[in-house]
Amino acid sequence: MADTEKYEFAEIPTSVTGWNAIITSNNEKIDAYLHTYLQCTLGEDVSAYEAGYFHTDEKYYLALANISRQPALCLFIEDGNTDQEIRGQRIGPITNAGWAWTAGKPVYLSAVTPGALTQTSPASNVRQALGLALSATSILLNIDIRESLYGTTTTTSSTTSSTSSSTSSTASTTSSTSSTASTTSSTSSTASTTSSTASTSSSTTTTT
């Protein structure tokens, strides 16, 4: 009995016996290969269709667009309580009769309510797109978890401010150096004039 080339599913000829075990084995392979769903151990109580993020304690909590509770990794597809393991969907179509989206517009992680979704774009430094609304009640999930998409605006601003401060400080130092050089030059000129006057006085005394 041969296996398929890509996923090594067992082929089932019509004459084969024990096909129940073969189908069970194939189903287990499908479950292992497909990554539409995540298995999520919860760190708090959640409801279906809320967004979740993965914390450092290896549990899932309600996500929020505030950098510290990002990135969202999935939408929970069932209710769950603390320490319970439930499923979260990370990609593909998902439908909820309670939604009221504008079709064709992006859906983002909310920056206001933990776990909530919104079509009002949050600030650029925390904005995370979760998918696109296909209808009023369905979303095509395609969660973007690239860290470069959020948390950069503040850093850039800080860097710019630091650069400006450094430039200003350099300019101030240059100006101060120039002023010192000018003062030194003026002092040298005064000394030269004094020397010249002294020389003239000496010459006059000698002549007298």
CB contact at 8 A, 107 and 119: yes
pLDDT digits (tens, 9 = 90+) for 98-119: 999 999 999 999 999 999 999 9
Amino acid identity for residue 81 in this structure: N
Which residues, in sequence order, are CB contacts of 46 under 8 Å at separation 6+? 52, 60, 62, 76, 79, 80, 86, 115
How far is the first Cα of the chain from the last one, in angstroms, to the nearest whole number? 132
Distance (Å, rounded) from C-alpha 110 to C-alpha 137? 17
CB contact at 8 A, 88 and 60: yes
Which pLDDT band, with edges at 50, 70 and 90, does 30 fall under? confident
Kindly give the pairing relationship between strand 91-95 and strand 85-89.
Answer: unpaired
Residue 27, phi then psi, degrees to nearest 5:
-65, -35
Distance (Å, rounded) from C-alpha 60 to C-alpha 76? 10
pLDDT at res. 148: 57
pLDDT at res. 32: 78
pLDDT at res. 15: 76
Which pLDDT band, with edges at 50, 70 and 90, does 1 fall under? low
Q: What is the share, in percent, of the chain residues with pLDDT greater than 70?
A: 69
Helix (H) or strand (E) holding 124: none
pLDDT at res. 192: 47
pLDDT at res. 55: 97
pLDDT digits (tens, 9 = 90+) for 121-151: 999 899 999 999 999 999 999 999 887 566 5
| Cα→Cα distances 39→36, 47, 61, 117, Å | 10, 15, 13, 21
